[in-house]
């Protein structure tokens, strides 16, 4: 049993450490190493990009996009119930642990994916994604329970920045191992990349222990009940009825659905774009990802500072406008140096828009609520469904046109709609 303690440095730092722990999944698995590894080994017997999956023949990159879409759809379906249960029983930390272990162990399972077992590889992709995104609703829900509203922007930015730093450290280690395997007594080939998937699992599980140790167990002292399933649904009905009476929150979530669809599609599929459309080597792609991550650290703090002076909505509008520019430029990029420049621009806005999206939502939920997991479930269901929409649209456009360039250009629609909607959120102080 715990009590509610706000702005305790030990607790807030422990909370931020989960970003440090799980962001290695975002970088090594979803962005840098695994997509490139997957694109290289998920081939047909004649070396082509068409693969057979459950009697379905389709391009390997399209299959990867659809696998991500499916994983986030599953997460979106299960999270409302789980978050309602977490709020009604005080089990947020338990659920956070469960999803963290699921995601990390699935990353370890990727070690056994060698191309010929494509169904197994896709299953690990789906489970790892569920573990990562499923835990975020419970992780994010701790923010209003450990800090006062004036600390949300800075603390959220700190978490994302620590995530970028930690993931870059591990990625550099893995990059050296992949490029210079002899240093580690390894032979060239797929083994170094597969070992990097194991390092993600060890890092994620290891550093998350700091978070699990420091976060409060049950700050509102909710008691466990044999009717937890019923209470979970009741909790959700209560929260959703409150959301109906909060027009600015509704407007923001709708805007977030659209612009986040574009953001996440770019983040998850940028490496595949570079590999397939520009034929970039693995080393170049990983270097580009490193640039994005390092620049994102400064970007998170830059836009947190901008929001301090101009407000969150102004900052979000600015970043969404830049995202539209990024998608248009991606359609025309033809050289490696141009892609480097585009990566720098993405880095500036990537950290800022993720950190401010989370903190803005925290400011819009009722200040007197104790149902933080349920409110953040609504946010994270939107997050997951938006990724379903973004990755599904990206993969489908490529399937229809045969080019990822049209997929990138198509994402501008999501950003334009999000921009128009977020400008309608009118709340004093944000």
Containing H/E element for 59? strand 56-59
What backbone torsions phi and psi does residue 116 show, to the nearest 5 degrees? -70, -30
What share of the chain in percent tops pLDDT 70? Answer: 91
Sign of CA dihedral 276, 118, 104, 395: positive
The average pLDDT across 340-350 equals 88
Residue 400: which pLDDT band, with cuts at 50, 70 and 90?
very high
Model pLDDT, residue 1: 46
- Three-state SS sequence of 204-258: HHHHHHHHHHHCCCCCCCCCCCCCHHHHHHHHHHHHHHHHHCCHHHHHHHHHHHH
Question: 98 near 82, Cβ under 8 Å?
Answer: no
For residue 220, pLDDT over 80 is answered with: no
Containing H/E element for 51? strand 50-53
DSSP per-residue codes, 268-333: HHHHHHHHHHS---HHHHHHHHHHHHHHHHHHHHHHHHHHHHH-HHHHHHHHHHHHHHHHHHHHH-
Residue at token pair 């057979």: 52
Structure tokens at 404: 């990822």
What backbone torsions phi and psi does residue 50 show, to the nearest 5 degrees? -80, 130
For residue 46, pLDDT over 70 is answered with: yes
DSSP per-residue codes, 128-151: HHHHHHHHHHHHHHTHHHHS-GGG
For residue 243, pLDDT over 80 is answered with: no
For residue 421, pLDDT over 80 is answered with: yes
Model pLDDT, residue 169: 92
Which residue, among 93, 152, 110, has the nearest Cα to 360 in the 3D structure? 152
pLDDT tens digits for 85-140? Answer: 666 667 788 889 999 999 999 999 999 999 889 999 999 999 999 999 888 878 88
d(CA 68, CA 130): 9
Number of H helices, E strands in the chain: 16, 2
pLDDT tens digits for 77-86? Answer: 887 777 666 6
d(CA 144, CA 365): 10
The average pLDDT across 155-163 equals 83
Structure tokens at 326: 């990024």
Query: What mean pLDDT is reported for the chain?
Result: 85
Q: Which domains does the chain have, with CATH numbers?
A: 9-216+226-422 (1.20.1250.20)
Model pLDDT, residue 78: 81
Model pLDDT, residue 219: 62
Which residue, among 132, 111, 176, has the nearest Cα to 26 in the 3D structure? 132
pLDDT tens digits for 136-146? Answer: 878 887 887 88
Which residue, among 93, 89, 91, has the nearest Cα to 225 in the 3D structure? 89
Structure tokens at 27: 């970088």
Q: Cβ-count burial of 55 within 10 angstroms (0-12 exposed, 13-18 middle, 19+ buried)?
A: exposed
Beta strands in 63-104 (DSSP E): none
For residue 412, pLDDT over 60 is answered with: yes
Contacts of 250 (CB under 8 A, 6+ apart): 243, 244
The average pLDDT across 317-328 equals 95
d(CA 276, CA 290): 19
d(CA 312, CA 361): 10
For residue 208, pLDDT over 90 is answered with: yes
Q: SS3 for 57? A: strand
């Amino acid at each position: 049993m715990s009590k509610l303690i706000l702005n305790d440095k030990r607790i807030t730092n422990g909370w931020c450490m989960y970003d440090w722990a799980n962001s290695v999944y975002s970088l090594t698995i979803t962005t840098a190493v695994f997509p490139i590894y997957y694109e290289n080994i998920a081939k047909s017997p004649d070396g082509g990009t068409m693969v057979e999956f459950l009697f379905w023949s389709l391009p390997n990159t399209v299959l990867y996009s659809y696998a991500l879409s499916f994983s986030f759809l599953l997460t979106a379906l299960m999270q409302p119930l789980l978050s309602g249960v977490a709020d009604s029983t005080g089990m947020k930390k338990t659920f956070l642990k469960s999803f963290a272990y699921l995601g990390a162990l699935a990353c370890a399972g990727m070690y056994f994916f060698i191309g010929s077992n494509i169904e197994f590889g896709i299953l690990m992709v789906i489970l790892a994604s569920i573990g990562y995104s499923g835990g975020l609703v419970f992780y994010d829900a701790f923010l209003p329970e450990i800090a006062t509203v004036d600390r949300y922007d800075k603390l959220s930015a700190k978490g994302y920045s620590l995530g970028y730093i930690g993931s870059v450290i591990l990625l550099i280690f893995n990059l050296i191992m992949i490029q210079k395997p002899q240093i580690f007594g390894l032979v060239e080939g797929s083994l170094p990349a597969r070992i990097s998937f194991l390092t993600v699992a060890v890092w994620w599980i290891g550093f998350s222990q700091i978070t699990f140790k420091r976060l409060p167990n049950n700050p509102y002292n909710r008691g466990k009940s044999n009717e937890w399933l019923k209470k979970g649904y009741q909790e959700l009905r209560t929260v959703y009825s409150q959301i109906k009476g909060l027009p600015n929150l509704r407007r923001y979530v709708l805007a977030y659905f659209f612009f986040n669809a574009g953001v996440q599609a770019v983040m998850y599929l940028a490496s595949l774009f570079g590999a397939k459309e520009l034929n970039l080597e693995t080393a170049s792609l990983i270097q580009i990802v490193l640039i994005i991550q390092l620049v994102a650290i400064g970007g998170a703090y830059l836009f947190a500072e901008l929001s301090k002076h101009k407000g969150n909505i102004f900052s979000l509008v600015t970043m969404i406008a830049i995202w539209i520019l990024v998608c248009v430029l991606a359609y025309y990029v033809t050289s490696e140096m141009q892609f480097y420049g585009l990566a720098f621009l993405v880095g500036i806005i990537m950290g800022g828009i993720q950190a401010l999206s989370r903190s803005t939502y925290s400011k819009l939920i009722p200040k007197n609520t104790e149902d933080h997991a349920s409110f953040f479930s609504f946010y994270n269901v939107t997050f997951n469904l938006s990724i379903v929409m973004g990755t599904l649209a990206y993969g489908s456009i490529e399937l229809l046109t045969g080019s990822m360039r049209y997929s990138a250009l198509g994402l501008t629609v999501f950003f334009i709609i999000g921009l128009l909607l977020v400008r309608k959120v009118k709340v004093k102080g944000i």
